[in-house]
Amino acid sequence: MIEATLTKRFGVREVLSAARISVSAGTVHALVGENGAGKSTLVKIIAGVLHADAGTLAIGGTTVDVARWDRIRARAAGIGIVQQHGASAGTLSVVENAVLGVEGGPILGLAATAEALKKLGDQVGLPIDPWAEAGELSVGAAQRAEIVAALHLGAKLLILDEPTAVLAPVEVDGLLATLRKLAATGTTIVIVTHKLDEVRAVADDVTVLRAGATVATFDLREARDGSHVDVAAIARAMVGADLPAPAQVAEPAADAKVVLAAKRVSIGGLHDASLEVRAGEIVGVAGVDGNGQRELALAIVGLISGMRGTIQLGGRDVTRSSPAARLSAGLAHIPEDRHHGGLLLDATIADNLALGRADITGRWRIDRERVQSNARDRIAELDVRPADPHAIVRALSGGNQQKVVVGRELSRPALTAVVASQPTRGVDLGAVARIHDQLRAAALRGAGVLVISADLDELLALCHRVVVLLRGKIVGERAGAALRSADARAALGTLMTGATDVEVRA
């Protein structure tokens, strides 16, 4: 189906160096690698979103001209792509985006197309509102809508860039099962993912990129049950070494001070929610995206108006305080969407690391040497690539952009509490380990850390306690031994989907 050897440069930097991928028709092919390895660039070239500087590309046995290959030609060849950061027009509805750019417009008409989209979404376990305005959707809801739209268009080759990053475990299982069914009926799937359990569950083949080059391939067809898949070997190929064992953070003292509290908070989709985080504690908020997590984070940080309830930071009521005042009082915020609220994309790494940090820039005159020194320290600490303080953030991979946000926020002085929303969404294994280590280090320094994530495995690996949000309400929690028990993942996943009541245990 696909045979490609491609080279791509951004300025003087070569991000793909004759990277090779061979995808057989009717298979599920996983493309893995660290952030900055070139995965998204490679699939964007195949989908016609980017142009290659050199190389060859054959689709279904037909060699195409890489210099002229574009989105229109790719779509005509039956290639669909769901990008990691979305590509929807924000002022249009989901159904309007689904037919945008389709030659001849919607064959069925908008109403019939909307009905078909809704039906398909329900079938694959990704319910959507086809008439919702795309720009008003959360990151997760927007991604689900694009997945459904791509499936609706019936592409012969469907490329999915981090499609499960915001889904609950039962939804992930449903989507992976859908991908297997699609492959069985002749659709070819390329899935870009950092989650090796998904690779083991769904992939026929794996291509590993590192530093823009193909370094390994794996054939998993004979290990469909996962029993013979050497996940460690795939991970080693991705990062070039064994991953270090994660550090553990001791349980906070029973009398540890509450440093962050939300009391009876209601706003938008959040209803009468209360929670506390103690000094040195990492608390997770689990839930399918769109169940009030976004409102909870924005309420704590002070970025949403009309809230009822109380927010306390370090024992002080900050409900009426501005976001800037809360940050000055020791709050750090890693936003859900790094592109909207976390970064100035056309500024340098150094300048982004100094955003809102008067302790670095100086209050009256920018101290350029201090800004550059801080950038060099943060780049080394989090292994940001390229290791150039002057690099423009827009040119970085998603994972390296996230490292910049994490480096800025968690290095704030006198840190009291952290609100981290989807802190490792779309981030590779090595970067996940680094970001988790930074969050653990913040807790060890005495900060209370609130991690909002749709990834249950992340919360189970990181947190002392996990609460579950469903339809805007906290419906249960697990802590201590109950959180480490064998059935914790299944129990929390059940709570996330509202399938049944699960006893709250601690």
Domain coordinates in residue numbering, the chain: 2-239, 258-497
Phi, psi of 466 (to 5 degrees): -130, 125
Question: pLDDT tens digits for 282-341?
Answer: 999 998 878 999 999 999 999 999 999 999 999 999 999 999 999 999 999 999 989 988
Question: pLDDT tens digits for 435-494?
Answer: 999 999 999 999 999 999 988 888 999 999 999 999 999 999 999 889 989 888 888 988
- Alpha-carbon distance 425 to 398, whole Å? 9
- Under the banding of pLDDT at 50, 70 and 90, the label for residue 504 is very low
Question: pLDDT tens digits for 166-221?
Answer: 666 766 787 888 888 888 888 899 999 888 888 999 999 999 999 899 999 999 98
Fold identical between 2-239 and 258-497?
yes
C-alpha distances in Å from residue 445, one per residue of 252, 279, 395, 412:
11, 9, 33, 12
Pick one of 3.40.50.300, 3.40.220.10, 3.10.20.90, 3.40.50.720 as the CATH number of 258-497.
Answer: 3.40.50.300
Residue 228 has pLDDT above 80, yes or no: no
Question: pLDDT tens digits for 372-382?
Answer: 999 999 999 99
Strand, coil or helix: 218: strand
What's the whole-model pTM score? Answer: 0.71
Question: pLDDT tens digits for 61-91?
Answer: 999 999 999 998 998 898 989 886 666 777 8
C-alpha distances in Å from residue 477, one per residue of 326, 463, 489, 504:
27, 12, 12, 6
The winner for highest mean pLDDT among 17-31, 150-164, 285-299 is 17-31
Work out whether strand 205-210 and strand 331-334 pair parallel, antiparallel, or are unpaired. unpaired
Work out whether strand 448-453 and strand 282-286 pair parallel, antiparallel, or are unpaired. parallel
Average pLDDT taken over every residue of the chain: 89
Higher pLDDT, 282 or 397: 282
- Three-class DSSP labels, 18-79: EEEEEECCCCEEEEEECCCCCHHHHHHHHCCCCCCCEEEEEECCEEECCCCCCHHHHHHCCE
End-to-end distance of the chain based on CA atoms, in angstroms?
Answer: 51
CATH number for region 2-239? 3.40.50.300
Beta carbons within 10 angstroms of residue 186's beta carbon = 9
